[in-house]
Chains A and B, each alone.
Chain A
Amino acid sequence: MTHSEFDSFRPPEPPRRRRPGGKRGTGRRDSGDGSREMSMVPEPEFTSYYGRPVVKPAPWGDEVAAYLFLGGVAAGSALLGLGGQLTRRPALCRNARLSALTAVSLGAAALVKDLGRPERFLNMLRTIKVTSPMSVGSWILSAFSVGAAVSAAAEIDRISRARLPLGPLRTLLQAAEGPAGFEAAFFAGPLAAYTAVLLGDTATPTWNAAHEELPFVFVSSAALASAGLAMITTPVHEAGPARKLAVLGVVGDVVAMRVMEHRMDPVAAEPLHQGKAGTMLKWSERLAAAGGLGTLQGGGNRAMAAASGLALLAASALTRFGVMEAGLSSARDPRYTIEPQKNRLAARRAAGITGDSITTAR
């Protein structure tokens, strides 16, 4: 514990991290004499290495959040498309099929753009790995896209009055469009849900802690978004099922989100309520509720239906961007990694389970 004259050449002490709640006593920190011996004296609740993160956030930008949203829209649209196909609602069927193809193409492009090496995107299909939700998801996405593309191509051909230069392939296309609609719808649910497993199967504290309920949040969000889009694109007399799906989606979304926040580790749930993520998720719930109410009250009115549909789409996008942001910020703050882990370790020890700690005395 020396105080030498060279102490004055040391770089200034970095500001100490505070817990967001700001519960700490800070008395002894601000001695300001340049001695740094006390700098690592632990806070009773939580110590870290200079406040640096323990886990790394995924290097995923807005493109991936956009993909979560677009993939959901595509998935729900394929289900609406199949419903329209089976119940003879040609406008709903056509619009949903076109929406599915557009959304899935934009989503896939966003995904590829986010890769570190976009030119190697085909490596995603180099193997099938069940332990990797990203691998399983890439196959789901590919399979879904085939059905979505074929059924949408048939619609485009119809809209353009058979002007696509298809030749003899036209008969084939017309024969394939029905089965293709089924095929896309078969992969629709998995497409909407796998992204929740992708986020849950990480060491990112908030995502991992949410893994039980996140799939329910994501499929609900997909349902309400795709229904909202159909309410915008489709005349009200054919959009009845979309309105019902929208309401069911809103109920599912709000309930699943609440249950998720309730069942998660309370510390790991904090990022869902803070900062940018907190704001986005709050507005997501409000817009979903507004869109749902609008659908119930005025879904029969075209303008009202379109406005509600827009609110629902915005709600779904905010859910995805909010969940993405909450996870990334939970990875950036060591507290969200360390505190839940310490708590669960202590709980296991209190319950008499002492054999499974990574830290051992021998």
Chain B
Amino acid sequence: MGQLSGPTDPTADAHWEHQQPRKGFFTDTSICIGCKACEVACKEWNHNPSDGNLELLGSSYDNTGALGANTWRHVAFIEQGQERITEARESGRALVNLGMPGIGPPGAAAPTGPDLAEVDTTPPDTADFRWLMSSDVCKHCTHAGCLDVCPTGALFRTEFGTVVVQDDVCNGCGTCVAGCPFGVIERRSDGTAVVAAQREDQHAEHPAVPNVGVAQKCTLCYDRLVADEAPACAKACPTTSIKFGNHDDMVETARERVAGLHAQGLTEARLYGANELDGVGGTGSVFLLLDEPEVYGLPPDPRVPTADLPQMYRRAGMAVAGMVAAAAVAFLGGRA
């Protein structure tokens, strides 16, 4: 059993002998144009069936809705007015002023960005309207709730530090679905592959929905990584909003980018998942966001549930002792 929480190297924790550097994404939402090429490329490459009934969800240009068994990249669209933009800028500035410690040896944690508390960064051009677009994906957590609670070992940690389901091992118990603090992994149900009527013939030739009844999520294109290829989504992204590479480089790139945006007065920019001291030990997929995480449907303070597992087992042990004691009292307390 590896470490349950805190900073660690997940690949070493999983006892891989021939480790690869940990791979990850840096998704820079500030340059995402919402083209959804990543969503499409992911579906194509992984043969994922369609979701739902092609209905419009009434949420801007997002008719996908959420990550799920069949959607491993999801582009969120958020429309905001000036008031909210100002608020986002304020909340970002508050974050800067918190003086969040950098990562690394405490002494060497020199601030990377300019000290914004003193500079007048009043942006000259607070737009009166903006669209936020963000391509969400599995976080490939350092401490992955889904992997920890999986009873069959279907979910495993790859040599690249990512988290992958073995389709032929998973028995669809669904524990991982509840274990993920980000709502990513889902059990694939049948009957979701609804196809447009006029293309029925064309689709009839396709194989039935694969892997029905088992848990499904982004594999960080494990099949491509082992062939030294970049994941399909990153390759398809036309703006380099999705960057793929070694996790360390990704985090560094993210830090540089957010410092650059801050220097332009865009204090609303912030990183999500770049802190290895957070509740999941840092994520393999790092994001640059322009508002609070919950605006994008991300949890504001996720914590891997297994971090508290030793305490849960202790409490359960006490409860067991209580139950046995009650039974003993019931029998020993003289004949009623």
Q: Hey, which bits of chain A sit against chain B, CB under 8 A?
A: 1, 11-14, 36-42, 46-50, 52-60, 75-76, 79-80, 83, 86-87, 114-118, 120-121, 123-124, 126-127, 129-135, 137-138, 188-190, 192-194, 196-198, 200-204, 207-208, 211-213, 215-216, 218-220, 222-223, 227, 240-245, 248-249, 252, 331, 334, 337-338, 341-342, 344-345, 349, 354-362
In the complex with contacts A39-B79, A49-B78, A345-B301 CB distance below 8 A = yes
- Does A241 contact B330, Cβ atoms closer than 8 Å? yes
Stretch of B19-27, B198-206, B320-328 at the chain-chain interface: B320-328
- Does B259 contact A362, Cβ atoms closer than 8 Å? yes
- Does A201 contact B214, Cβ atoms closer than 8 Å? no
Q: How many A-B residue pairs have CB under 8 A?
A: 354
Question: A354's contact among B98, B280, B316, B323, by CB below 8 Å, is which?
Answer: B98
Contacts of B170 in A (CB 8 A): 116-117, 120, 123
16 A-B contacts, Cβ less than 8 Å apart? A37-B81, A57-B178, A115-B171, A115-B174, A116-B213, A117-B171, A133-B312, A134-B149, A194-B316, A197-B312, A200-B305, A219-B319, A337-B299, A341-B300, A355-B277, A360-B270
Question: B58's contact among A14, A83, A133, by CB below 8 Å, is which?
Answer: A14
* Chain B 94-122 per-residue mask, 1 if CB under 8 angstroms from chain A, else 0: 01101111100000000111000000000
Main secondary structure of the interface of A (DSSP, over half): helix
- Does B151 contact A132, Cβ atoms closer than 8 Å? yes
The smallest beta-carbon distance between B91 and chain A, in angstroms, is 9
A87 to B, closest residue via Cβ: B331
- Does A56 contact B128, Cβ atoms closer than 8 Å? no
In the complex with contacts A135-B151, A349-B98, A193-B316 CB distance below 8 A = yes
* Chain B 120-161 per-residue mask, 1 if CB under 8 angstroms from chain A, else 0: 000000001100000000000000010011111110000000
Contacts of A126 in B (CB 8 A): 152-153, 169
Q: Hey, which bits of chain B sit against chain A, CB under 8 A?
A: 1, 4, 56-60, 62, 65-66, 68, 76, 78-81, 83-84, 87, 92, 95-96, 98-102, 111-113, 128-129, 145, 148-154, 169-175, 177-189, 212-215, 255, 258-259, 262, 270-275, 277-280, 283, 289, 292-302, 305-306, 308-309, 311-313, 315-324, 326-327, 329-331, 333, 335-336
Contacts of B177 in A (CB 8 A): 56-59
- Top-3 shortest CB links A-B: A116-B172, A116-B213, A49-B297
- Does B101 contact A355, Cβ atoms closer than 8 Å? yes
In the complex with contacts A132-B175, A244-B333, A252-B322, A41-B312 CB distance below 8 A = no
The smallest beta-carbon distance between B328 and chain A, in angstroms, is 8
The smallest beta-carbon distance between B125 and chain A, in angstroms, is 15
Question: How far is B320's CA from A75's CA once the two chains are assembled, in angstroms?
Answer: 11
- Does A203 contact B271, Cβ atoms closer than 8 Å? no
B335 to A, closest residue via Cβ: A240
Contacts of A240 in B (CB 8 A): 335-336
In the complex with contacts A56-B177, A248-B326, A362-B273 CB distance below 8 A = no
- Does A202 contact B183, Cβ atoms closer than 8 Å? no
Question: A11's contact among B56, B172, B213, by CB below 8 Å, is which?
Answer: B56
Contacts of A14 in B (CB 8 A): 57-59
- In addition to A56-B183, A123-B154, 8 A-B residue pairs with Cβ atoms within 8 Å of each other are A115-B173, A134-B149, A134-B150, A189-B320, A213-B315, A215-B312, A334-B297, A361-B100
In the complex with contacts A189-B323, A341-B301, A331-B178 CB distance below 8 A = yes
Question: How far is B171's CA from A112's CA once the two chains are assembled, in angstroms?
Answer: 10
- Does B187 contact A59, Cβ atoms closer than 8 Å? yes
In the complex with contacts A192-B320, A193-B320, A203-B178, A362-B297 CB distance below 8 A = no
In the complex with contacts A132-B149, A354-B100, A361-B95, A124-B171 CB distance below 8 A = yes
Question: A202's contact among B178, B213, B296, by CB below 8 Å, is which?
Answer: B178
The smallest beta-carbon distance between B224 and chain A, in angstroms, is 26
B148 to A, closest residue via Cβ: A131
Question: B315's contact among A39, A49, A211, by CB below 8 Å, is which?
Answer: A211
B145 to A, closest residue via Cβ: A203
- Does A131 contact B149, Cβ atoms closer than 8 Å? yes
- Does A201 contact B312, Cβ atoms closer than 8 Å? yes
- Does B308 contact A124, Cβ atoms closer than 8 Å? no
Contacts of B271 in A (CB 8 A): 359-362
Question: How far is B323's CA from A196's CA once the two chains are assembled, in angstroms?
Answer: 14
- Does A193 contact B295, Cβ atoms closer than 8 Å? no
The smallest beta-carbon distance between A82 and chain B, in angstroms, is 8
Question: How far is B332's CA from A157's CA once the two chains are assembled, in angstroms?
Answer: 29
